[in-house]
Amino acid sequence: MIKKIITIFGSTGNLMYKKLFPALDALIKKGLINQDVKILCIARKDCTLEDYVEEAKKEVKENLDWDSIIPYLTYIKMDLFEMTDYIMLKDMIHAEGKDLDVMFYLAVPPTLFEPIAKGLSISKIMTKAQENRRILFEKPFGSDFEDAKHINQTLQELFDEKQIYRIDHYLGKEMIQNIFIMRFANSLFKHQWDNKRIKSITVLAKESETVMMRGGYYDGVGALKDMVQSHLLQMVSLITMNQPIENKSSAIKDSKVDILNKVEFDLNSSIFGQYDGYLDESGIQKDSNTETFVFLKAHINHKNWKGVPIYFLTGKKLNEKRSEIIIEFESDDINQKGWEFNNLDYNQLIIRIAPEEGVTLKMNVKTPGLNASIIPAELTYCHACQSVGNTPEAYEKLLLDLLNKDDTLYTRWDEIVASWQTIAKLKDKSHELVNYQSFEELKQLILETHVDVYKNI
């Protein structure tokens, strides 16, 4: 049996405590991680496994079954700039046997991607020729296109593209995976999916939280690079891509890249904002002009999408946590040939990604009773209600796919190139920053300047 080793660099970080431990716990409980798996937790702190676990128990908010997790764990202290430490790691891995499948998860700041990749390659822990070695990177993939290109060049010199897994954890979310099924497994939507039927598309990712303890990372990155470059553009590509020629990872990515290359932002329709009090947060430069909110209008240079505005909205310290995709349908040819309806609303399909997962279809119906006036009605599907217990978290699915060498939900390099190039034009333009205290101020501004935008933003 092949032994699988998940090696996590940055095991004392927020990502490990907030996402990876809960995901590992869930996979162990479901029997999807079992005795053939070992987890090497790497960090720079000098401590025993017992100390490390005690610290993790304090940091992890969820109630995990630590007694089941601990047997899988080994704690390793490493200096990531010291070659002898990589040799030590290699010896430890090789001591596990000959038939090994080894994954290296870089849960560290992007500045460490290159030194770790080089350390793994020079020490020959991982080389291009080894099929059973994979390396994983978290977003952001670089700080801009040039930086991303530089990191990628280094990686491609050291490793084969098949060994490189780039995580955009939004792609692991249940309802994001559901977009594909909803679009292509339902003839109801499949044949209504173009500019003849769709009036507008809105992609929302609203957060109520501030930057909290992540100011050091967030400042200098901002909402555009943190959210639009990755999650929001990925959502738009899944919603608007042509049906892939087959249900395979490479074909899906080809369709996504084709659309990503055709997204164009309307430079004059953007609103950038910064919440009041941002400059007083820990880790933020006192004169920072980093945006914590962005609203954008785009269109897709493709005959199917000509004339359809695509709205992007994301930000911190807003009135709620809500991530949704709203598709508004046209209603222009309903009133004809003697048929007149009043009070018609646009049909809307709302894909709810977080915090609730589900779908709502808004339609027009007759009011109950003796008169025939029209009211809006909602058909609602609750995704979480279908499952016993919680639906899997994004990282659970992504870790499982990693173990199974399935890279469908990971992003390919050309998707990242297209996303960076799309937002580069916006970043070149200097933007006035709107200072906001509440989302209501931003909403008013958006609705005043964009009359056709979906009203319930």
Ligand X SMILES: NC(=O)c1ccc[n+]([C@@H]2O[C@H](COP(=O)([O-])OP(=O)(O)OC[C@H]3O[C@@H](n4cnc5c(N)ncnc54)[C@H](OP(=O)(O)O)[C@@H]3O)[C@@H](O)[C@H]2O)c1
Binding segment (CB under 6 A) for ligand X, from list 5-13, 187-195, 313-321, 366-374: 5-13
CB closer to ligand X, 176 vs 457: 176
Kindly provide the b/e burial profile for residues 226-238, where b requires at least 16 CB atoms within 10 angstroms of the residue's own CB: bbbbbbbbbbbbb
Q: CA torsion angle for 205, 206, 210, 214 (degrees, to 10)?
A: -10
How far apart (Å, rounded) are the C-alpha atoms in residues 426 and 292? 15
Minimum CB separation from ligand X for residue 116, in Å?
A: 9
Binding segment (CB under 6 A) for ligand X, from list 60-68, 104-112, 178-186, 254-262: 104-112
CB closer to ligand X, 14 vs 243: 14
Provide the H-helix boundaries in 286-428: 394-403, 413-428
CB closer to ligand X, 56 vs 350: 56
Minimum CB separation from ligand X for residue 22, in Å?
A: 12
Helix and strand numbers, DSSP H then E, in the chain: 16, 16
Element (H, E) at 178: helix 174-184
Task: Check if the beta carbon of residue 87 is closer than 8 Å to that of residue 122.
Answer: no
Binding segment (CB under 6 A) for ligand X, from list 10-18, 177-185, 347-355, 425-433: 10-18
Q: Measured between alpha carbons, how far is residue 12 from residues 42, 52, 140, 402, 403 in Å? A: 8, 8, 19, 21, 22
- Mark whether 231 is an active-site residue: yes
Q: What binding mask, one character per residue, do residues 244-283 give for ligand X by CB under 6 A, x or -?
A: ----------------------------------------
Minimum CB separation from ligand X for residue 226, in Å?
A: 9
Instruction: Please tell me whether residue 318 binds ligand X under the rule CB under 6 A.
Output: no
Binding segment (CB under 6 A) for ligand X, from list 106-114, 177-185, 190-198, 362-370: 106-114
Query: Which listed residue (109, 220, 277, 355) binds ligand X by CB under 6 A?
Result: 109
CB closer to ligand X, 88 vs 112: 112
Instruction: Please tell me whether residue 148 binds ligand X under the rule CB under 6 A.
Output: no
Instruction: Please tell me whether residue 401 binds ligand X under the rule CB under 6 A.
Output: no
Residue type, 300: I
Which one is catalytic: 94, 191, 231, 302?
A: 231
How far apart (Å, rounded) are the C-alpha atoms in residues 357 and 324? 9
Query: Which listed residue (15, 211, 313, 354) binds ligand X by CB under 6 A?
Result: 15
Minimum CB separation from ligand X for residue 403, in Å?
A: 19
Residue type, 366: K
Contacts of 250 (CB under 8 A, 6+ apart): none
Residue given tokens 């249900």 in the structure block: 247
Instruction: Please tell me whether residue 18 binds ligand X under the rule CB under 6 A.
Output: yes
Q: What binding mask, one character per residue, do residues 34-73 give for ligand X by CB under 6 A, x or -?
A: ---------xxx----------------------------
Minimum CB separation from ligand X for residue 406, in Å?
A: 20
Task: Identify the sign of the CA torsion 322, 278, 292, 215.
Answer: negative
How far apart (Å, rounded) are the C-alpha atoms in residues 40 and 93? 9
Q: Quote the DSSP letter at residue 412.
A: P
How far apart (Å, rounded) are the C-alpha atoms in residues 398 and 394? 6
* ∠ Cα 162 167 169 (to 5°): 145
Minimum CB separation from ligand X for residue 14, in Å?
A: 3
Query: Which listed residue (139, 166, 253, 443) binds ligand X by CB under 6 A?
Result: 139
Site residues for ligand X, 200-239, by CB under 6 A, read 217
How far apart (Å, rounded) are the C-alpha atoms in residues 239 and 48? 48
Query: Which listed residue (25, 138, 281, 357) binds ligand X by CB under 6 A?
Result: 138
How far apart (Å, rounded) are the C-alpha atoms in residues 402 and 163? 11
Minimum CB separation from ligand X for residue 284, in Å?
A: 16
Residue given tokens 């060498």 in the structure block: 405
Query: Which listed residue (5, 6, 12, 323) binds ligand X by CB under 6 A?
Result: 12
Active centre residues (catalytic): 231
Residues that bind ligand X (CB under 6 A): 10-15, 18-19, 43-45, 80, 107-110, 112, 138-139, 217
